[in-house]
Structure 1
Amino acid sequence: MINQLSWKVGGQQGEGIESTGEIFAIALNRLGYYLYGYRHFSSRIKGGHTNNKIRVSTTQVRSISDDLDILVAFDQETIDLNYKELHSNGVILADAKFDPKKPEDTDAALYAVPFTEIATELGTSLMKNMVAIGATSAVLDLDIQVFEVVVREIFGKKGDQVVAKNMEAIKAGFNYTKEKMDGNVPTMQLEKADGKHRMFMIGNDAIALGALAGGCRFMAAYPITPASDIMEYLIKKLPALGGSVIQTEDEIAACTMAIGAAYGGVRSLTASSGPGLSLKTEAIGLAGITEVPLVIVDTQRGGPSTGLPTKQEHSDLMSMIYSTHGEIPKIVIAPSTVEEAFYDTAEAFNLAEEYQCPVIVLSDLQLSLGKQSVEPLDFSKVEIRRGKLVTEELPEIPNKGYFKRYEVTEDGVSPRTVPGMKNGIHHVTGVEHAETGKPSESAANRVAQMDKRFRKVENIRFNTPVYKNAPHEDADLLIVGFNSTRGAIEEAIGRIEKDGIKVNHAHVRLVHPFPTDELLPLIRSAKKVAVIENNATGQLANLIKMNVGYAEKIKKIVKYDGNPFLPHEVHSKCKELF
């Protein structure tokens, strides 16, 4: 019996690799197992190697596993590219159609199963992925009936006959592997799960759901990997709540439309990735100077330019903080789990309205597209706070004057009205302006308005700006990360502690304004600090040096090949520091 399993299916993009993993994972999720799935896919629409690696566990997991138990291969390329992940007792289940060859430098067992042939005999070769699920079930000694509900949900619209044929394909794959292999296939039976019901979702879906819960009723966006799922989710859900999604002609239009809707009083969202954020930059500056509450999601991917559209990277960090020309107040938050992606996105709309500035929710490809088990979300934790939005009738302004929309206040936040509010008329312009919004180039006014805008973000109220797991007062090592590196770091810490090294962990969730006061005591008390991030220059490490100091302690551990960190990589790199 095993309490954890790592399973991967691979082949050419367009062969049903994603649906194979989806059906396998959903069925096991419903049995109560915790899952973490990560897709490696090409930037091409069809063709090119793709795989889906799924980790199944009786306890919570938040990272890709180091090794592999079962590899399901639809072509030889899948074996050649992925076999080194298999441990010595691993199993390769390969389609007999391509006469699979096992590399000499692996002890894993290879079994050729005629996925395509069996599927073709049942009516269509397209069902070879169902045959593969059946073969996997044989190795795991799973009851194939656990897949019936999932198959019916996915194929039910096509009729009972299609459902029955797919279940027949699963059964055929199971029987072939059990019978034809004459009992030689090793069994990897999973310990029984707790049977609890959990959601199984990607980070992008959690972001979209968080936006809905946070009162978002308008989204303007242009499709881009890996952010498009947010728009696709809201296209399905927003109309039922009286909201709208507009797919714009470009990223600039998306951002300016969201600004217009937000100015009108609607909680508005736009979402993109690095190239799209580059195009939105000027408009973000407009939101900053006009003090319009705008929420932007950036799902980071490999850059620069088109770069690696379908691969992991953390290279947008400095850009999200500093990219606008001129200086504006801005809030950047970085969730590290799917649950945080939900709650943080909902909270982003409160922050945007309370501080009347752009709020960026910074995600990454691994978090946005990685699919994992999620405990039931608590919607009672979500509240709506609209800051200084004026809701009561305004007094008449003498001499038909203008409302002081940009009034200089002690906390830097001015009263805000929406168009059409009686006695709330004011100018709105992208040039520097006085309290009523009228353009002004006065030096004194410029200083007053700049100081006012930046006072807003001097004391940001954000729940858990730094997630801390710090049991040691005098740690040998402090590991710092952000976004999806959390899972690999948490898993690595246990291994590092076994080496006799005392480890604390800090995960930065409020990236800007930087949480100096939260990090300073942890960094001061640690002998060494390792900063884990997916970029070449160590952007988070540099931010820490800028805002906290102690540069001599800080060591950059970076990875920028397009792949997420694995737990053993964090372990080995941290161990090298001692």
Structure 2
Amino acid sequence: MTASSSISIAIVGSGGAGALTTVNLLLEAASAAGWHGLFTRTLGPQIRGGEAAGLLRLATHPVDCLPDQFDLIIGIDWLNAHRFGSEIKAGPQTLVISDPRGGEPPPMVTESGARVVEIEMKEIAKSISGGRPNMIALGIASRLLGFGVEQVFALIAKRLGGKGTSAMEASRAGIKAGFEAAKGVRFEAQLEKPVPGEARRWLLSGNEAAALGAIRGGVRFAAAYPITPATEILEWLSPNLAKVGGVLLQAEDELAAINMIIGASYGGTPSLTATSGPGLSLMIEAIGLATAAEIPIVVIDVMRGGPSTGIPTKSEQTDLNIAIYGLHGDAPHLVLAPQSVSDSLFTTQWATYLAEALQSPAIVLSDQFMGQSRAAIERPADVAFIGARSVATSISGGYKRYAMAPGGISAMALPGMPGGQYTADGLTHTERGIPTSGAADHLAQLDKRRDKLERFNYGDHWASIEGTGDIAIVTWGSLTGAAREAAARAAADGLNVRLIAPRLLSPVQPERFAAALEGVARLLVVEQTHSGQFLRYLRAHYDLPAKTRALNRPGPLPITAGEIHRAIIDWR
């Protein structure tokens, strides 16, 4: 056996087989033992039911991406597993545990050279009253990964304690039976011992982290219509907003949701909605209204495969264009993108702060991979970004809601404030908010809304910039983790590679980006789109080196660290 700093597991099963539950339990066990981990899922297009696989990477260090290949694959059954087989890479070093009664293994197994060991998980489960094959799989995985059976029992007691004695006993018996069934199975890959930590790691998804970041940033009202893969944001906010005196309202559709949060924010309450690509399309006109009326709102877009309904359960980065350019007219607004599960908390909190401080809509571009992945992470640092809106405190004379104030931020009167009446709508207006068609007024207000965003000091948070060298990887969003790992592999090969990952996509930062590119001769742009939206965005706004290449493809296949690494090495 060889100890490794990282090991990866996939558990596959049809709908109801419990594959995802099993992997989630493994993550919890590993986290309790002190390891880091990342758990994501791959599903069919039906959203609920059907084929499913839980993908888990455990490590002694933080991990933000999946592996190039999996070390262990457990097939509770193989029904329709071929539909996402290309997402689960196996090789000669892979151990596959297969139930001979679970159907024929898919090509991802049979054509990979992987070593296959058959264990009759379904038959073992039948011998246990109330037994389930996924508990057998949990016992097998626990033994192969080096977890003690009592360690897993303690976790089951915590998770299933409310389901009654019979469920507990059946689960314990299944785990023990799986543990025994794996006795003697040779598994070469083993995790190095975890580095001891003072505090227990957090377990949360990117969607939950974003919701927590919004609350920390001051959001106290949310309205949204459920949509995959953003719904978990609403599910988490519903009870937790109430704990801080806030309210969540499930709207009848996306049009209602966006207008509700505009109204709440107009009344003085920091507000948020969460959606995915189809919902964002419906919200665009209202986001333009918030831009023109200078009403701060936060819109989290958890991107999925498109266009139209696309692939609701798969990840893609193809809402970049609509988020930045989708509003009609000249409508400057904020667009930000978190870079990991952990960073979803910080970026959403920062977005809320910026929206409030700059009186502007902020769109946060997460995606299915990041939003629905669950990670064992270090406790995120508390940061002091709490929205501080400029509110009029006393008004004398004619109130100018849209006055040409220093920095472009004019004080906002709240409803009911004496003398603070003004019209907040989408018409071009004067400083007092009176509708006008005058060219001078139109230009003045366009300049005001542009300048307040462009002149604001965003500090070092605008991007992650790491490493040196004349080759740079530029990427964004959830691909940052894979790019960071690729750069580390290149460094191990003796090749210094720089990583540049913008967190602030709009407004653009030409001076900062030029400084980040100083000395770069070759640039690799990595993105998960079909048309190269990110590369086109970079070329539109920044001066790029003459030697610039793209590594891009649409979802659902993620771009791995190995692919990025190979692209760099091949370009030496």
Same structural fold, with TM-score higher than 0.5 when normalized by the shorter chain:
yes
Instruction: Please state if 1:469 is matched with 2:448.
Output: no
For the 8 Å contact 1:466–1:518, the answer to whether it is kept is no
Instruction: Please state if 1:152 is matched with 2:157.
Output: yes
Instruction: Please state if 1:15 is matched with 2:17.
Output: yes
Q: Distance in 1 between matches of 2:368 and 2:528?
A: 11
2:210 maps to 207
1:249 maps to 252
Once the two structures are TM-superposed, the CA of residue 82 in structure 1 deviates from its matched residue by: 6.4
1:332 maps to 335
CA 1:248 to 1:215, structure 2 compared with 1: closer, same or farther past 3 Å? same
- Bigger Cα displacement from structure 2, 424-433 vs 483-492: 424-433
Secondary structure, counterpart of 1:76 in structure 2? coil
Q: Distance in 2 between matches of 1:112 and 1:87?
A: 17
Q: Distance in 1 between matches of 2:342 and 2:186?
A: 38
Matches within 5 A, 1:79-118: 81=85, 85-98=89-102, 105-118=111-124
> Alpha-carbon deviations, 1:324-369, whole Å to 9, x = none?
1111220111110222211121122221121111011111222111
Matches within 5 A, 1:91-490: 91-98=95-102, 105-125=111-131, 127-178=132-183, 183-186=184-187, 188-196=189-197, 197-379=200-382, 381-390=383-392, 392=393, 394-397=394-397, 402-463=398-459, 464-472=461-469, 475=470, 477-490=471-484
- Bigger Cα displacement from structure 2, 423-432 vs 256-265: 423-432
- Bigger Cα displacement from structure 2, 440-449 vs 219-228: 440-449
Once the two structures are TM-superposed, the CA of residue 555 in structure 1 deviates from its matched residue by: 1.4
CA 1:303 to 1:110, structure 2 compared with 1: closer, same or farther past 3 Å? same
Once the two structures are TM-superposed, the CA of residue 248 in structure 1 deviates from its matched residue by: 0.9
What is the identity percentage for the equivalent residue pairs of Structure 1 and Structure 2?
33
Once the two structures are TM-superposed, the CA of residue 211 in structure 1 deviates from its matched residue by: 0.9
For the 8 Å contact 2:8–2:71, the answer to whether it is kept is yes
Once the two structures are TM-superposed, the CA of residue 46 in structure 1 deviates from its matched residue by: 4.0
Matches within 5 A, 1:45-60: 45-60=47-62
For the 8 Å contact 2:142–2:152, the answer to whether it is kept is no
Secondary structure, counterpart of 1:545 in structure 2? helix
CA 1:138 to 1:20, structure 2 compared with 1: closer, same or farther past 3 Å? same
For the 8 Å contact 2:97–2:118, the answer to whether it is kept is yes
Instruction: Please state if 1:502 is matched with 2:496.
Output: yes
Once the two structures are TM-superposed, the CA of residue 159 in structure 1 deviates from its matched residue by: 1.9
CA 1:526 to 1:414, structure 2 compared with 1: closer, same or farther past 3 Å? same
Secondary structure, counterpart of 1:359 in structure 2? strand
For the 8 Å contact 2:47–2:313, the answer to whether it is kept is no
Once the two structures are TM-superposed, the CA of residue 440 in structure 1 deviates from its matched residue by: 1.3
Once the two structures are TM-superposed, the CA of residue 45 in structure 1 deviates from its matched residue by: 4.1
1:28 maps to 30
CA 1:177 to 1:524, structure 2 compared with 1: closer, same or farther past 3 Å? closer
Residue correspondences, number: 563
Amino acid at match of 1:257: M
CA 1:107 to 1:452, structure 2 compared with 1: closer, same or farther past 3 Å? closer
> Alpha-carbon deviations, 1:546-573, whole Å to 9, x = none?
2222363321110214121111111122
CA 1:253 to 1:553, structure 2 compared with 1: closer, same or farther past 3 Å? same
Q: Distance in 2 between matches of 1:159 and 1:311?
A: 36
> Alpha-carbon deviations, 1:445-502, whole Å to 9, x = none?
1122221221211223324212111333xx1x11101001111111111333355543
Amino acid at match of 1:48: G
Once the two structures are TM-superposed, the CA of residue 523 in structure 1 deviates from its matched residue by: 2.8
Amino acid at match of 1:154: R
> Alpha-carbon deviations, 1:506-539, whole Å to 9, x = none?
1111100112112213434211111100001222
Secondary structure, counterpart of 1:230 in structure 2? helix
Once the two structures are TM-superposed, the CA of residue 13 in structure 1 deviates from its matched residue by: 2.8
For the 8 Å contact 1:346–1:382, the answer to whether it is kept is no
CA RMSD, 1 decimal: 2.0
For the 8 Å contact 1:480–1:507, the answer to whether it is kept is yes
2:522 maps to 528
Q: Distance in 1 between matches of 2:113 and 2:320?
A: 42
Q: Distance in 2 between matches of 1:231 and 1:224?
A: 10
Secondary structure, counterpart of 2:143 in structure 1? helix
Amino acid at match of 1:433: H
- Name structure 2 gaps, 5 residues minimum: none
For the 8 Å contact 1:329–1:456, the answer to whether it is kept is no
Amino acid at match of 1:512: S
CA 1:448 to 1:308, structure 2 compared with 1: closer, same or farther past 3 Å? same
Amino acid at match of 1:529: L
Once the two structures are TM-superposed, the CA of residue 385 in structure 1 deviates from its matched residue by: 3.9
> Alpha-carbon deviations, 1:376-433, whole Å to 9, x = none?
1222x1332413122x3x1443xxxx42111122321111111111221112222111
Once the two structures are TM-superposed, the CA of residue 107 in structure 1 deviates from its matched residue by: 3.6
For the 8 Å contact 2:64–2:341, the answer to whether it is kept is no
Once the two structures are TM-superposed, the CA of residue 61 in structure 1 deviates from its matched residue by: 1.6
Q: Distance in 2 between matches of 1:298 and 1:469?
A: 27
Once the two structures are TM-superposed, the CA of residue 225 in structure 1 deviates from its matched residue by: 1.1
Once the two structures are TM-superposed, the CA of residue 35 in structure 1 deviates from its matched residue by: 0.5
Secondary structure, counterpart of 1:223 in structure 2? coil
Once the two structures are TM-superposed, the CA of residue 114 in structure 1 deviates from its matched residue by: 2.1
Once the two structures are TM-superposed, the CA of residue 187 in structure 1 deviates from its matched residue by: 5.6
CA 1:317 to 1:118, structure 2 compared with 1: closer, same or farther past 3 Å? same
> Alpha-carbon deviations, 1:52-111, whole Å to 9, x = none?
110111122211011111111022357753697233232111223236558654442222
Q: Distance in 1 between matches of 2:452 and 2:88?
A: 53
For the 8 Å contact 2:487–2:565, the answer to whether it is kept is yes
Q: Distance in 2 between matches of 1:346 and 1:540?
A: 24
- Bigger Cα displacement from structure 2, 53-62 vs 112-121: 112-121
2:560 maps to 566
For the 8 Å contact 2:13–2:53, the answer to whether it is kept is yes
CA 1:528 to 1:485, structure 2 compared with 1: closer, same or farther past 3 Å? same
Give the alignment's TM-score, normalised by structure 1: 0.93
> Alpha-carbon deviations, 1:153-181, whole Å to 9, x = none?
32111123322221111001111221xxx
For the 8 Å contact 2:27–2:376, the answer to whether it is kept is no
For the 8 Å contact 1:141–1:188, the answer to whether it is kept is no
Give the alignment's TM-score, normalised by structure 2: 0.94
Q: Distance in 1 between matches of 2:151 and 2:173?
A: 13
Q: Distance in 2 between matches of 1:247 and 1:99?
A: 42
Instruction: Please state if 1:516 is matched with 2:510.
Output: yes
Amino acid at match of 1:26: E
1:74 maps to 76
Amino acid at match of 2:326: S
Runs (4+) off by over 4 Å = 77-80, 99-104
Q: Distance in 2 between matches of 1:486 and 1:299?
A: 16
Secondary structure, counterpart of 1:167 in structure 2? helix
- Bigger Cα displacement from structure 2, 235-244 vs 19-28: 235-244
Secondary structure, counterpart of 2:335 in structure 1? strand
Q: Distance in 2 between matches of 1:166 and 1:466?
A: 46
CA 1:442 to 1:146, structure 2 compared with 1: closer, same or farther past 3 Å? same
- Bigger Cα displacement from structure 2, 247-256 vs 190-199: 190-199
